[in-house]
């Protein structure tokens, strides 16, 4: 499975790969393109990535989650290129013995991908304009592009 892909994400196929006899909980997060942002109407998004670096970083994040929560399964896939409204741009699946670990690890993985991985998006707006940005908007809160706000403690 390619971690970074131009292909539409197949959530059903990814979920089917994620069943494991040792896991009592499987959590799937799908980050989908919505039709608005900051009061503006969005037409679609276009993602770019430093593919080799993004792949390496996501692999490291997944391994960190596997170790920290003793996961049976941890996988993630992110699209690049044009992603239409309601399509999935990113998917994270975690599986563990209990739901607490599956939920916590899933949140950890998606937050780290969003904050740390070199993936950028361009919002194409209904008014014909476009706006580039990263996946992370922490700088608006922290005043520093290198400082992130996490919902968890990074180890």
More confident residue, 123 or 142: 123
| Number of domains into which the chain is organized | 1
In a domain, 72, yes or no: yes
Calpha distance 75→7 (Å, rounded): 16
pLDDT digit string, tens, across residues 9-24: 999 999 999 999 999 9
Task: Read off the pLDDT of each residue in 139-151 and give the average, rounded to a whole number.
Answer: 64
CATH code for the domain of 54? 3.90.1170.40
In a domain, 127, yes or no: yes
pTM, two decimal places: 0.89
pLDDT digit string, tens, across residues 52-104: 999 999 999 999 999 999 999 999 999 999 999 999 999 999 999 999 999 99
In a domain, 79, yes or no: yes
Quote the domain boundaries for residue 47: 4-134
């Amino acid at each position: 499975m390619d971690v970074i892909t131009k292909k539409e994400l197949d959530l059903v196929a990814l979920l089917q790969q994620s069943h494991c006899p040792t896991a009592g909980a499987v959590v799937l997060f799908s980050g989908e393109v919505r039709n608005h942002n900051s009061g503006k109407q969005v037409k679609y998004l276009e993602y770019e990535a430093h593919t080799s670096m993004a792949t390496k970083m996501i692999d490291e994040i997944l391994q960190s989650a596997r170790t920290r929560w003793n996961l049976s399964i941890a996988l993630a896939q992110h699209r690049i290129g044009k992603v239409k409204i309601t399509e999935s741009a990113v998917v994270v699946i975690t599986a563990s013995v209990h739901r607490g670990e599956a939920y916590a690890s899933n949140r950890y993985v998606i937050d780290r991908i969003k904050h740390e991985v070199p993936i950028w998006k361009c919002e194409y707006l209904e008014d014909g304009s476009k706006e580039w940005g990263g996946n992370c908007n922490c700088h608006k809160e922290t005043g520093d592009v290198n400082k992130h706000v996490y919902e968890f403690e990074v180890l």
